[in-house]
Amino acid sequence: QSVLTQPPSASGTPGQRVSISCSGSSSNIGSNYVYWYQQLPGTAPKLLIYKNNQRPSGVPDRFSGSKSGTSASLAISGLRSEDEADYYCAAWGDSLSGYVFGTGTKVTVL
């Protein structure tokens, strides 16, 4: 049911940079802001990035977001063990879809 497509998994060793893609369409990412959420195992999601590339207070600057056309990316630099989680992108779509989420990406720290 997810409208936005993400890779199912990504991994890296501590200190590395990991990037997660999010592919949408002109009716969602192409014309609206992108949001990113982090969900640690067994917990509620947490807002990581809003309005494409803005970090809420308290989110480390190791996390950064970008958008180009109908795709977006989340980058995690200086990967740490506590970054091991599921990551979801989201965006408003048209009246037929509403607020849509990505398929989710599981990040593993090797």
Partner 1 sequence: QITLKESGPTLVKPSQTLTLTCTFSGFSVTTAGVGVGWLRQPPGKALEWLVFIYWDDDTRYSPSLKSRLTITKDTSKNQVVLTMTNMDPVDTGTYYCAHWSDGVDVWGQGTTVTVSS
Identify which of residues 81 and 95 has a Cβ nearer to partner 1 in the complex: 95
SS3 82: helix
Cβ pair 61, 75 in contact under 8 A: no
Q: Residue 79 Cβ, how far from partner 1 at the closest point, in Å? A: 23
Q: Residue 57 Cβ, how far from partner 1 at the closest point, in Å? A: 10
Q: Residue 54 Cβ, how far from partner 1 at the closest point, in Å? A: 8
Cα atoms found within 13 Å of the Cα of residue 34, Cβ hemisphere only: 29
Identify which of residues 3 and 76 has a Cβ nearer to partner 1 in the complex: 3
Measure the CA–CA gap between 4 and 71, rounded to whole angstroms: 9
Identify which of residues 16 and 47 has a Cβ nearer to partner 1 in the complex: 47
Q: Give the distance from CA 92 to its chain's centroid.
A: 14
Identify which of residues 81 and 96 has a Cβ nearer to partner 1 in the complex: 96
In this structure, what are the phi and psi dihedrals at residue 34, rounded to the nearest 5 degrees?
-110, 140
Residues engaged in binding partner 1 (CB under 8 A): 1-2, 35, 37, 39, 44-47, 50-51, 54, 56, 88, 90, 95-104
